[in-house]
Amino acid sequence: MPFTVYPAIDMRRGRCVRLRQGRADAETIYFERPAEVALQWQGQGAHWLHIVNLDGALDSAETWSGPNVEALRAILAAVSVPVQFGGGVRTVASVGRLLDLGVARVILGTIAVSEPEVVARALERHGPEQVMVSLDARDGLVATHGWVTSSALPTEEVGERMRALGVRYAVHTDIGRDGMLTGANVAASVALAEQTGLQVIVSGGVATLDDIAASARHAHRGLAGVIVGQALYTDAFTLSEAVQLAAATEPEHSAEGCAGSRDGEGPLE
């Protein structure tokens, strides 16, 4: 899979919103209907969509029949590009249910820290192309439960555990930068990728096309893509520009017959 730009659609109560640093009290509502936004991004050249449920755990009949799941169904019915979805997914059953709905890849966040065996079982059942994790960090420590709870676990450590379970892809969010348009933390994402062997998707703080290029330049070091939220909603640049730039950016490393890392202890499992 080539380096991918993921437009983000975060949802609260069925609406597309943006938060600052994940704070519930710093919300701006951008669109009433997420499916319309999704179509807009698809029309502008999105190859994937990144959809996030901000309304808490999907763990009851109530939440499954709530407005965010309804909005997700509408998005899946409207677009043809693959969708990765996360936020509040707590069980293997939920993973299966989302995949049955048509989600291409399910993202597990809190669970990666609190119940890694759920990640393991979900991987067993569905494989690493359909199950991934999100490692969202504040000052290098993974935060969970809507970023309210800070674990004492360094991102790399959780990342290594996930890799050992067979996880292939991980979103890496710098919470402090999320929604703040302060620039993405590419360095930390590259470090995570090189340390763990995970294919890392950069998230948090993308402000200009420079962030897109900076991420794409490190594709050969394990960066699989970049998620863009706020910047698209404030028209800092268009998605088309970002997708085209990513496609045109060659990784810094000289392009060789085999471009892998020489000393790499390649992840076996």
Catalytic residues: 10, 136
Q: Considering the rule CB under 8 A, would residue 126 count as an interface residue with another protein?
A: no
Would you give the DSSP letter of residue 220? G
When the beta carbons of 43 and 267 are compared against another protein, the nearer one is 267
Nearest one of 83, 153, 63 to 116, comparing CA atoms: 153
The CA distance from 28 to 20, in Å, is 9
Of the listed pieces 64-72, 74-82, 90-98, 247-255, which binds another protein according to CB under 8 A?
247-255
The CA distance from 29 to 11, in Å, is 9
Pick one of 34, 87, 197, 205: the residue that binds another protein (CB under 8 A).
197
Pick one of 184, 219, 227, 228: the residue that binds another protein (CB under 8 A).
219
Q: Considering the rule CB under 8 A, would residue 25 count as an interface residue with another protein?
A: no
The CA distance from 243 to 150, in Å, is 33
Q: Considering the rule CB under 8 A, would residue 129 count as an interface residue with another protein?
A: yes
Helix (H) or strand (E) holding 169, with range, is strand 169-174
Please report the DSSP string for 26-71 in residue order. EEEEEES-HHHHHHHHHHTT-S-EEEEE-S----SHHHHTSHHHHH
Q: Considering the rule CB under 8 A, would residue 62 count as an interface residue with another protein?
A: no
Q: Kindly write out the interface string for residues 79-118 of this chain, putting x where it contacts another protein by CB under 8 A and - elsewhere.
A: ----------------------------------------
Helix (H) or strand (E) holding 78, with range, is helix 67-78
The CA distance from 190 to 221, in Å, is 7
When the beta carbons of 62 and 265 are compared against another protein, the nearer one is 265
Q: Kindly write out the interface string for residues 144-173 of this chain, putting x where it contacts another protein by CB under 8 A and - elsewhere.
A: ----------------------x-x-----
- Which residue ranges make up the site for another protein (CB under 8 A)? 1-3, 128-129, 166, 168, 197, 199, 219-220, 224, 247-251, 253, 255-269
